[in-house]
Structure 1
Amino acid sequence: MEQLPRRVAQMAREHALWVPGDRILVALSGGPDSTALLHLLLQLAPAEGLTITAAHVDHGLRGKESAAEAEAAGRLCRLLGVEVQLLKADVSGHMTRTGLGVQTAARELRYARLHEAAARCGASRVALGHQADDQAETVLMRMLRGSGLGGLSGIPVKRREKNVELIRPLLRITKAELIAYCQTAGLAYSTDSSNAKPDYIRNAIRLEALPQLRRFNPRLDATLARTAEVAAAEDAYMEARTAELFKAHVHAVDGGYKASHKALLALPLALQRRLIKLILSYLSREKNGIAFEHVEAIRAAMCRAEPTTWRLDAVDGIRCMREYDTMKWVRPAEQPGPYTYVVPRDGGELKISEAGIALQFALVSGAAPARPDRREAWFDPAQLHLPLQVRSRRAGDRMAVAGLKGTKKVQDMFVDEKVPAARRARWPLLCDGRGELLWIPGLRRSALAAPAGAGPYLRVRALAGAADDGMESLFES
């Protein structure tokens, strides 16, 4: 057992778990794991330059047993000469307020109390007593549920949370070794009776699955712990690579993110999946609710050559869509209903809030340009039927397009110009007083009221707003 302090110190060096001068708060449940952890860190403290303190959280779930554990934790700390904070957590009340299950509610409150305790005593790190058996249970549980590298990496050795670092120095040490250490050192510890009940999946794995599997591999716990370490290192590399790709290829848009369809297809399969999951995680309110099926449904649709425009509901209200060479992930805002604006007879600027643009109407002298910018259209006011109107599209809309015979469907023009389906309902159409379409800003104008003679002319100019990058890009094409 004299090897345990050396093994913990080695673990700390490999993973930079602390530096000289650190104050470490030990989460002391009172069981053999946390009891051994507290004692081991006290043995290492002088040589490592550490200050050790402790905190015990009473969840109040097991009545007298919980109270006895709190008393035992206080007694142990007095015996060892360690400052301790004895804290309470109203788990039942938290369950009622949040609707969470007992395990999740207890975990949330426990970590909240530990953060508060660390802040009070000025600790930069909180040491947790998770050990190799816990790691084996976690890896096996995630295997059974289905997991990638991130899940197989198990419990992290350290993790930054808020303004402290959570560290787990015992992940290479088994529970049997820690119990033997406590017995050799004469350390009394508590036993949680709920751990002997296979009511929760983790308990069932510990009590039923692992003992059976150890028949095939007596060193199964060490094997699973090693799997977790290998997976964690490889997962960290892949996460860093995915973050680089996100920075290079993914851009924020109103309500979400977009990326080049072609650029995503060029990535290896593993990075496609990871990048899609990262985007979903940034948009989702339920980080643990993103399943492989959600990611793979998007990736499979993305890899199909046809159709070039589609949309699907992903997870947690997030919508994924392809708009030609653009992939988008958004939380859809409420779509505006049909709108109509009447253009004042004296012109001026008319803001179309649904489209994110304004239309500017002005009488101008001089010759009309032979090929106006797509942002503007010129008309002979003498041929116009007033009042002019600006409205959203309607089913069956057609326009007599300048330079073409007959009329053409507005829907077809949107498709020809690759206007994303999500924007078509918002796109403004300029009509005359009889309802005839005169101009689709940024796209095409009609043959009606074409400039003739010396003028003056009515010039209508579209002023694109920054809120609508898609319309802006069409004006610039």
Structure 2
Amino acid sequence: MDNTVRAFIKRYQLVNKHSTVLIAVSGGPDSMALLHFFWSVREEWNLRVIAVSVDHQLRGGESLEDLEYVKELCRGRNIEFIGTSLDVPAYKQERQMGTQIAARELRYQFFAEQMRLYDADCLALGHHGDDQVETVLMGLVHSASVKSLAGMPLERNFASGKIIRPFLCVTKESIEHYCREHAITPRRDPSNDDITYTRNYYRNKVLPLLKNKNQNLHRTIQHLSRSLQEDEKFLGHEAEQMAEEMVIFDEQKIAVHFNTQTFLSYPQSLQRRVFHLILNYLYSNLPEKMSYVHEEQFFKMLNASHGNMRIDFPNRLKLERSYQSTSFYFENEQTQSFSYHMLVELPGETVLPDGGVMSAEMTGIPRMKDGMVYVCDKEAVALPLHIRTRKPGDRLRWKGLNGSKKVKDIFIDAKIPLNERDTWPVITDNNDTVLWLAGLKKGTPLTQTDSGMYIQLSFKPSNA
């Protein structure tokens, strides 16, 4: 095993000479073998080796005894040691998360702190080839993403350096043999045999069956994992470029917009990855309910033949396709930002929530032919004038129209995207008669007069 690991480290340049390497040591066979390996090569490679051990306070006195055991072993072999106890139960309760996630978050926070404190180059973890097989199998069964099938990365950037997994090239059996060969007496966690835990079920029930067919399964899976990770890295970079070029990200992380046809012009593999980039941008934590079903719903909406569609995602996230525009937004945040009702300053300027400006003045010589200007006789309307967002039942009437028309239908006929309709400035008089859909459609007051004095409204949108 020693030569296999050495060759693996050299091939992928996981550790350079003269490096500071932190070893995460739980006291189990994998981490104890990993510590012994780096201890055995520390002088040859001129390494500074530091053992880091964590008590998660989940198994009473046992986990603390594991930490003390590692500490004593390091003292006997003159290995630098860092140990700590983390209050995982309290952290879990405070953040309302699962035990394993809470333990992982706290553990990696501590590891990152120590990496920076010692300016370490690497944090070495004891995951082995069988762990990788289990991870890929769980990804295959429980997920539909390529990223899940890619398994654990051999190395990744972390804190002041990187995380490495030098044992992915060897099996659990090889590690156990290494421990016996070097008289290493590891601590044993009895929960590792409990098949009610998902990973343990795969480890104890599924993996032995597969290994009967292929004893080198760990090598096959590691090759597959490496290939998929390299492909994902490239496609991830391409997806980030696509998102940067054509997706509009709201700075407050409550909404995202893009042109539907432009989005569909890219390869579908990139479309799928940008979809997930958007979800990761909007959700601080992806909901557990999120699955490939939502991805399918998104693409069905995107490729629908009719103009408008709206679908619901977890945690009140809405997806809308309206003609050539597609939007993601959180309903509660969007509704808050959409709704407003203000009096028009006459004379003066009224600034809308989105930065648009409505200017109003009294004049005897109005400008009549301008799409951004509305003029009416001051005696024909009930003052003050109002500017607001649309309401159910709003209707507009104009000269030559028999009766009135729903504002909703005017938006549809003009192919105004759904998300824009809810922010569109609607000007009414004090009787709530709709006079103007600013910049879109001008109405006629119910009363027709000609006093010679006019109200002139000029609208400047925020994007003008």
Q: TM-score, normalised by structure 1?
A: 0.86
The answer on whether the counterparts of 2:4 and 2:169 sit within 8 Å (CA) in structure 1 is no
In the TM superposition, what is the alpha-carbon distance from 1:177 to its structure 2 partner? 1.8
Change (3 A) 1:48 1:313: farther
In structure 1, what is the Cα distance between the partners aligned to 2:198 and 2:430? 70
Query: Corresponding residue for 2:295?
Result: 295
Alignment pair present for 1:145 and 2:119: no
Change (3 A) 1:393 1:29: closer
The answer on whether the counterparts of 2:239 and 2:274 sit within 8 Å (CA) in structure 1 is yes
In the TM superposition, what is the alpha-carbon distance from 1:262 to its structure 2 partner? 0.5
The answer on whether the counterparts of 2:115 and 2:160 sit within 8 Å (CA) in structure 1 is no
Structure 2 counterpart of 1:316, one-letter code: N
In the TM superposition, what is the alpha-carbon distance from 1:361 to its structure 2 partner? 1.0
The answer on whether the counterparts of 1:451 and 1:457 sit within 8 Å (CA) in structure 2 is no
In the TM superposition, what is the alpha-carbon distance from 1:380 to its structure 2 partner? 3.2
In the TM superposition, what is the alpha-carbon distance from 1:402 to its structure 2 partner? 4.5
In the TM superposition, what is the alpha-carbon distance from 1:288 to its structure 2 partner? 6.5
Change (3 A) 1:311 1:242: same
Query: Corresponding residue for 2:85?
Result: 88
What value does the CA root-mean-square deviation take over the aligned residues?
2.8
| 1:131-142 mapped onto 2 (5 Å cutoff) | 131-142=128-139
In the TM superposition, what is the alpha-carbon distance from 1:245 to its structure 2 partner? 1.2
The answer on whether the counterparts of 1:57 and 1:86 sit within 8 Å (CA) in structure 2 is yes
Q: Structure 2 residue aligned with 1:106, among 100, 103, 106?
A: 103
Change (3 A) 1:181 1:419: same
Structure 2 counterpart of 1:298, one-letter code: F
Query: Corresponding residue for 1:257?
Result: 256
Q: Percent identity?
A: 29
Change (3 A) 1:384 1:98: closer
Q: Which structure 1 segments of 5+ residues have no match?
A: 466-471
The answer on whether the counterparts of 2:128 and 2:171 sit within 8 Å (CA) in structure 1 is yes
Alignment pair present for 1:321 and 2:329: no
Query: Corresponding residue for 1:469?
Result: none
Per-residue CA distance 1:296-331 (angstroms, 9 max, x = gap)? 11111111111x122111233321111210111112
Alignment pair present for 1:78 and 2:75: yes
Structure 2 counterpart of 1:421, one-letter code: L
In structure 1, what is the Cα distance between the partners aligned to 2:17 and 2:170? 23
Deviates more, 1:197-206 or 1:412-421: 412-421
The answer on whether the counterparts of 2:364 and 2:453 sit within 8 Å (CA) in structure 1 is yes
In structure 1, what is the Cα distance between the partners aligned to 2:65 and 2:384? 84
Per-residue CA distance 1:446-475 (angstroms, 9 max, x = gap)? 24489979x55422112333xxxxxx4xxx
In the TM superposition, what is the alpha-carbon distance from 1:383 to its structure 2 partner? 4.3
Deviates more, 1:142-151 or 1:113-122: 113-122
Change (3 A) 1:391 1:236: closer
Alignment pair present for 1:204 and 2:201: yes
Change (3 A) 1:198 1:11: farther
Alignment pair present for 1:157 and 2:150: no
Structure 2 counterpart of 1:212, one-letter code: L
Query: Corresponding residue for 1:276?
Result: 275
Q: Structure 1 residue aligned with 2:378, among 381, 393, 398?
A: 381
Query: Corresponding residue for 1:226?
Result: 223
Structure 2 counterpart of 1:192, one-letter code: D
Q: TM-score, normalised by structure 2?
A: 0.89
In the TM superposition, what is the alpha-carbon distance from 1:159 to its structure 2 partner? 2.3
In the TM superposition, what is the alpha-carbon distance from 1:172 to its structure 2 partner? 1.1
Q: Report the 3-state secondary structure (helix = DSSP H, G, I; strand = E; otherwise coil) of the residue aligned with 1:322.
A: strand
In the TM superposition, what is the alpha-carbon distance from 1:211 to its structure 2 partner? 1.1
In the TM superposition, what is the alpha-carbon distance from 1:199 to its structure 2 partner? 2.5
In the TM superposition, what is the alpha-carbon distance from 1:139 to its structure 2 partner? 0.7
Query: Corresponding residue for 1:358?
Result: 357
Per-residue CA distance 1:104-144 (angstroms, 9 max, x = gap)? 23222322232233333332431111110110111111111
Q: Report the 3-state secondary structure (helix = DSSP H, G, I; strand = E; otherwise coil) of the residue aligned with 2:212.
A: coil
Q: Structure 2 residue aligned with 1:236, among 233, 237, 249?
A: 233
The answer on whether the counterparts of 1:250 and 1:257 sit within 8 Å (CA) in structure 2 is yes
| 1:29-108 mapped onto 2 (5 Å cutoff) | 29-108=26-105
Change (3 A) 1:327 1:392: closer
In structure 2, what is the Cα distance between the partners aligned to 1:406 and 1:108? 64
Q: Aligned pairs, how many?
A: 458
Change (3 A) 1:403 1:101: same
In structure 2, what is the Cα distance between the partners aligned to 1:296 and 1:347? 53
In structure 1, what is the Cα distance between the partners aligned to 2:56 and 2:191? 13
In the TM superposition, what is the alpha-carbon distance from 1:434 to its structure 2 partner? 4.8
In structure 2, what is the Cα distance between the partners aligned to 1:250 and 1:334? 18
The answer on whether the counterparts of 2:115 and 2:159 sit within 8 Å (CA) in structure 1 is no
Query: Corresponding residue for 2:390?
Result: 393
Query: Corresponding residue for 1:371?
Result: 369
In the TM superposition, what is the alpha-carbon distance from 1:356 to its structure 2 partner? 5.1
In the TM superposition, what is the alpha-carbon distance from 1:268 to its structure 2 partner? 2.8
Query: Corresponding residue for 2:243?
Result: 246
Q: Which structure 2 segments of 5+ residues have no match?
A: none
Per-residue CA distance 1:315-372 (angstroms, 9 max, x = gap)? 333211112101111123152597654446x52223444x653322112354x44521
Structure 1 counterpart of 2:407, one-letter code: V
The answer on whether the counterparts of 1:318 and 1:331 sit within 8 Å (CA) in structure 2 is yes
In structure 2, what is the Cα distance between the partners aligned to 1:78 and 1:288? 45
In structure 2, what is the Cα distance between the partners aligned to 1:278 and 1:150? 13
In structure 2, what is the Cα distance between the partners aligned to 1:69 and 1:341? 67
In structure 1, what is the Cα distance between the partners aligned to 2:404 and 2:44? 87
In the TM superposition, what is the alpha-carbon distance from 1:212 to its structure 2 partner? 1.9
In structure 1, what is the Cα distance between the partners aligned to 2:339 and 2:53? 60
